[in-house]
């Protein structure tokens, strides 16, 4: 009982500080069946009864990955019924969605999960979706981003509140650790599920949790607390800097026909911290894809703008965008790709890393053995694809597009022209030559990175070995 009171107080305090809810709000609570989300539903229910009138909806997603999925759904259904809360179930065959989207398993699962939660919130006219991420999740996230070389925005970790499609995603547990939540469930006699894949260290987040953090705790027993404090400070300072960058944008940047122009003297007058953020903000406005916005490119623009000479230059920003300096004017815009690139490369287990010199990319292939379905979305983005290692016919050919190219995608009887997919996906013609095609040894197009994967060699429940293909930007100095 004492434990419950403490948790309620902590959550109410955070809710007031970050304006997570108001009286009579409707909140969709995402409940996986693990101890964190079971505790979240129970605590929010307690708050709705004793502290503030809230309407709760319990939402559970069955991803169809594991045999235990059906039992977990029933466990959550029973909990909702016991508390008298409406229950919503979303069922998805994630393995088949992976085949179609080319996303990693956790990436595909996350996308469908959020789609379902937001759609449920819209249906109930709910203000928010409550997620059960806790302090340990936050510490792991900050550490992973630190290792990845993230800037201040990344070090802010997961946000207490952010808006997606007019629905607020809220995380009331970010200051509460996992031990307290498991302890609460046990004290209250609440049934919960445990995911055995959380103990497999071949996945990056699990390795951070089970190996790296305990090792760091030997040097500083309060390292988790330090990471949480870093997230809190970085978050507040990041918001302040973002607001200032937006103000600079309004004052310094001239926008016309998809081009963003600024004057060198005005840019030089603002602090370097704002210069970097202003460049990043312009690139954000140019494109929704931030994968090409690395520090070195932003710094190249900044330094090139500040230096006296040369006064005329062009920088390829990647993603089909270019930054041009004409004396004292800097212009960001999409670039016209005048030349047609043509290339063919071979990728095999003996040559698993190939430089695609014509487009400044690197394609790699590596094997993953055994169960792969619980890899974390941070590890794999849309520029990675998974294939059944026993079904994929090697060697692979990485080549430029040819007239009449077709690909067999999920959900279609037959093939579709690659050109038509580009048109459907609204991929600008200037960007298309920079997208390679991956073909198997039989000549089938098996993957168009960032766009589609084919029906060939799809990863399924019985897959024993997985080949992970990844397309990345070349590192500086690799061009030669």
What residue numbers does the annotated binding site for ATP cover? 32-37
**Pairwise CA distance, residues 47 & 5, whole Å:** 10
Closest CA to 171 of 6, 43, 72: 43
Quick count: other Cβ atoms within 10 Å of Cβ 62? Answer: 19
CA 449 to chain CA centroid, nearest Å: 16
Tell me: cis bond preceding 310? Omega within 30 of 0 counts. Answer: yes
Residue-level length of the chain: 480
**Tokens (6 digits) for 393:** 């016919």
For 14, what's the count of Cα atoms within 13 Å in the CB-facing half-sphere? Answer: 20
Dig out the tokens for 309 from the structure: 């000479």
Binding site residue list: 32-37
Q: Which two tokens stand for residue 72?
A: 């977990």
Radius of gyration of the chain (CA): 25
Query: In the structure encoding, which two tokens stand for residue 159, read together?
Result: 């946000």
Note whether 466 and 389 are within 8 A (CB). yes
Distance CA 424, CA 135 (A): 42
Kind plus residue range of the DSSP H or E element containing 167: strand 167-170
Q: 168 - beta bridge partners?
A: 128, 163
In this structure, the strands spanning 161-164 and 167-170 are: antiparallel
Could you give the CA distance from residue 90 to residue 73 in angstroms, rounded to a whole number?
10
* Run of H or E including 371: none
Burial class (CB in 10 A: 0-12, 13-18, 19+), 475: exposed
> SS3 for 349?
coil
Q: Reduce the DSSP state of residue 387 to 3 states and report it.
A: strand
Report the distance separating Cα 14 and Cα 361, nearest Å. Answer: 44
Torsion, Cα 52 57 58 59, to 10 degrees, reads: -140
Question: Could you identify the residue written with the tokens 């404090």?
Answer: 229
Give the E-state strand segments of 114-155 in sequence order: 128-130
């Amino acid at each position: 009982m004492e434990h419950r009171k403490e948790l309620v107080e902590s959550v109410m305090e955070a809710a007031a500080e970050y304006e997570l809810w108001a009286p009579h709000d409707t909140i969709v609570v995402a409940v996986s069946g693990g101890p964190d989300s079971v505790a979240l539903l129970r605590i929010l229910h307690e708050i709705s009864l004793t502290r503030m009138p809230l309407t709760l909806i319990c939402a559970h997603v069955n991803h169809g990955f594991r045999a235990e999925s059906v039992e977990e759904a029933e466990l959550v259904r029973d909990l909702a019924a016991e508390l008298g809360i409406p229950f919503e179930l979303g069922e998805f065959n994630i393995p088949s969605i992976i085949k179609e989207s080319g996303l990693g398993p956790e990436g595909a699962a996350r996308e469908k999960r959020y789609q379902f939660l937001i759609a449920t919130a819209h249906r109930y006219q709910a203000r928010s979706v409550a997620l059960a991420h806790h302090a340990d999740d936050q510490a792991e996230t900050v550490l992973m981003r630190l290792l990845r070389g993230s800037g201040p925005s990344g070090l802010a970790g997961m946000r207490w509140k952010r808006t997606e499609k007019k629905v607020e995603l809220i995380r009331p547990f970010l200051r509460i650790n996992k031990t307290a939540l498991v302890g609460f469930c046990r004290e209250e006699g609440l049934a919960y599920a445990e995911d055995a894949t959380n103990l497999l260290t071949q996945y990056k987040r699990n390795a951070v949790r089970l190996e790296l953090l305990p090792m760091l705790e030997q040097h500083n027993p309060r390292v988790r607390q330090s990471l949480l404090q870093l997230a809190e400070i970085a978050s507040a300072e990041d918001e302040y800097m973002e607001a200032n960058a937006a103000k600079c944008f309004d004052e310094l940047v001239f926008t016309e026909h998809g081009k963003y122009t600024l004057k060198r003297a005005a840019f030089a007058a603002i602090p370097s911290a704002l210069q970097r953020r202003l460049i990043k903000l312009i690139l954000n406005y140019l494109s929704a894809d931030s994968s090409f916005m690395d520090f070195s490119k932003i710094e190249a623009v900044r330094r090139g703008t500040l230096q006296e000479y040369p006064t005329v230059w062009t920088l390829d920003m990647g993603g089909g965008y270019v930054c041009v300096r004409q004396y004292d004017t800097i212009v960001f815009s999409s670039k016209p790709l005048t030349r047609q690139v043509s290339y063919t490369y071979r990728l095999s287990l003996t040559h698993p890393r190939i430089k695609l010199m014509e487009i400044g990319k690197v394609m790699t292939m590596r094997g993953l053995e055994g169960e792969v379905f619980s890899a974390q979305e941070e590890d794999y983005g849309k520029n990675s694809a998974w294939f059944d290692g026993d079904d994929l016919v090697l060697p692979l050919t990485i080549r430029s597009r040819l007239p009449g190219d077709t690909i067999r995608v999920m959900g279609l009887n037959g093939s579709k022209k690659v050109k038509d997919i580009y048109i459907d996906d609204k991929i600008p013609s200037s960007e298309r030559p920079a997208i390679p095609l991956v073909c198997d040894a039989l000549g089938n197009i098996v993957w168009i990175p960032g766009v589609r994967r084919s029906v060939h060699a799809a990863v399924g429940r019985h897959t024993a070995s997985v080949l992970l293909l990844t397309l990345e930007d070349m590192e500086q100095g690799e061009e030669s």
